[in-house]
Each structure stands twice: as structure tokens, then as C-alpha cells.
Amino acid sequence: MTLLEKIYETRDFLRDKGMTEPAFGLILGSGLGELAEEVENAIIIDYADIPNWGQSTVVGHAGKLVYGNLAGRKVIALQGRFHFYEGNHLDVVTFPVRVMKALGCEGVIVTNAAGGIGYGPGTLMAISDHINMTGQNPLIGENLEDFGPRFPDMSDAYTKAYREKAFAVAEKLNIKLDEGVYLGVTGPCYETPAEIRAFKTMGAHVVGMSTVPEVIVAAHSGLKVLGISAITNFAAGFQSELNHEEVVAVTQQIKGDFKALVKAILAEL
Ligand code: HPA
């Protein structure tokens, strides 16, 4: 089966399960998947039961697709995403984004845990742009003409209007929301201090191991994007050691603000 046939097969499968006409896709990163538990009138499907779908292996990722109402909007939420470092092909990593587009989503909210280069742990940051340092591109291969052009423009990959709404909502809720550039690497090792110094001079504010492939595919297909990073640690060289337990623990601390913010933004989009 071609990639295109798989996308449409999965779309039809999800529609048959009642997942019709979602307005927004939510991609929930490490420790942030709890938001999906607040979806009302939820239809929940295990990843293992969805045709052509990847499998989630990281601690803190549940591996469920959740559809329903959140803040009055119809959403389809990925509770746990697929990473390149797990050994997934980028077609697998970005497959849910393509299915979200095929189901008719207008936009996606992509969230992640990230290391701060300047910004510190506990900060939420709206992503204004990214730097792709993965050495990979999910659009390599035959272009899916049904979705977008061979050479897509990335000038406005992170939708300004969404970001402006996010800032307005954050101010109303009295939640601090910074803005900056996300630099994407493949992982799974954390960066070296020398890499982080280099990334800083390149203009990065945070670094992480996800998001870039999904946003490239979203931009290709004309999906609007809001990206939010939850900064869980200072990047390498700015703190004494890095570990996944700290990433999960700090996400636990900021998830209250994170959930309130995303729900309030959704209501306004
Ligand atoms: N680097 C890369 N990815 C991350 C980090 C980091 O410091 N923290 C959370 N995800």
C-alpha cells in the first residue's frame, strides 16, 4: 500500500469509529498527555488498534488517540507521539498529522518538553519558528500532491494569528508565556555543552527531540500550527546534569498552567 492509501485507509477507519470532522489536532508531548483526559464525550482508541499507526514506547506517553470536545471545540488528541529516536521512519512520526489533515482539521497544537537555552525550567514558550538540526526531512520521497507542493514555503509555519491569541489568553489567565525559536535534534542523547553553545549563537531559545517533523508536514499540507514548549531543564552546560526523570517531574509541575492555557486558547481559535 502507498503512503497515500494508508492515510486514507486510517482516515476512513477513524471516521467509521465516529471521529468525524475534528477542528483541531492536539499532539501532546512528554508528561502533557493528561490534557486528553479532559476531553468530553470521548471516543478513545489504543494505538495498537489503529491501522498503519505507530506504537508509543517512551515513559510518560500513553499511546491513545482521543476524540471529543475540549473547550467547546472538536479535537483529536494524540496522547503520546512517535519520535524518530525510537527507530520510527518519519512517515510513521508524521502519519497522525497527515491523518488529522485528511479528517479535515484546520490546525494543530503541537506541544513538547524542551531544554532551555536562556529560558529556565517551568517556563512555557510559544514557538515562533524552528531550526531543523535533525539532518532529516519528512518530505523526502515522492511528494504527496493531495497534501501540498514539492517545495513548501516555511516562512509562516507557526501561525502568527494563533500565537497572538495564545499571548492574549495567557495574559488574561495571568500565565507567563514566552516566545522563541525551537531547535530540533533527533536525540536520544541530550546535547553536549558545545552543541548548546553553538545552538545559542544560531538563535535557538530551546532544544528538543520532536515537533520539527510534525510541523514540516503540517506546513506542507496547509495546516495552521500553534507550538508550545514546556521547558523542563536548562540545556546542557547550564545545569549540572540532565535526565528524563527531571523532565517528567518538571512537566508535572507546569501541567496545570499548560492545560488551562491550551483549553483557553482552543476556545478562542
Ligand atoms: N534537550 C533535548 N530535548 C529535551 C531536553 C533537552 O535538554 N529537555 C527536554 N527535552
Answer yes or no: is the C-beta of 269 below 6 A from any ligand 1 atom: no
The residue-averaged pLDDT of 188-207 equals 97
Q: State pTM to two decimals.
A: 0.95
The residue-averaged pLDDT of 182-209 equals 97
Q: Choose the catalytic residue: 9, 37, 71, 85.
A: 85
Output the residue whose Cα is nearest ligand 1's atom 6.
115
**Mean pLDDT across the chain:** 94
What's the pLDDT band for 61 if we cut at 50, 70, 90? Answer: low
Answer yes or no: is the C-beta of 159 below 6 A from any ligand 1 atom: no
* pLDDT of the residue at 2: 95
Percent of the chain with pLDDT over 70: 98
Clarify whether 89 is annotated catalytic: no
Answer yes or no: is the C-beta of 235 below 6 A from any ligand 1 atom: yes
Range with the lowest mean pLDDT among 32-36, 95-99, 212-216, 239-243? 239-243
Q: Higher model confidence: residue 62 or residue 74?
A: 74
Query: CATH for 3-268?
Result: 3.40.50.1580
DSSP string across the chain: --HHHHHHHHHHHHHHTT----SEEEEE-TT-GGGGGG-EEEEEEEGGGSTT-----STT---EEEEEEETTEEEEEEES---GGGT--HHHHHHHHHHHHHHT-SEEEEEEEEEESSS-TT-EEEEEEEEE-SS--TT-SS--TTT--SS---TTSS-HHHHHHHHHHHHHHT--EEEEEEEE---SSPPPHHHHHHHHHHT-SEEESSSHHHHHHHHHTT-EEEEEEEEEEEPTTSSS---HHHHHHHHHHHHHHHHHHHHHHHHH-
The residue-averaged pLDDT of 214-241 equals 95
* pLDDT of the residue at 140: 98
Nearest alpha-carbon partner for 13 in 82, 83, 67, 93: 67
Statement: residue 261 has pLDDT above 80: yes
Clarify whether 61 is annotated catalytic: yes
Output the residue whose Cα is nearest ligand 1's atom 9.
114
What does the CA dihedral 186, 190, 192, 196 come to, rounded to 10 degrees? 70
* pLDDT of the residue at 245: 85
Number of the ligand 1 atom closest to the C-alpha atom of 247: 9
What's the pLDDT band for 251 if we cut at 50, 70, 90? Answer: confident
Clarify whether 30 is annotated catalytic: yes
The residue-averaged pLDDT of 233-254 equals 87
Q: Write the pLDDT tens digit of every residue in 17-54.
A: 999 999 999 999 877 888 999 999 999 999 999 999 99
Clarify whether 143 is annotated catalytic: no
Clarify whether 155 is annotated catalytic: no
What's the pLDDT band for 58 if we cut at 50, 70, 90? Answer: low
Statement: residue 81 has pLDDT above 70: yes
Statement: residue 62 has pLDDT above 70: no
Domains of the chain, residue spans: 3-268
Answer yes or no: is the C-beta of 190 below 6 A from any ligand 1 atom: yes
Answer yes or no: is the C-beta of 123 below 6 A from any ligand 1 atom: no
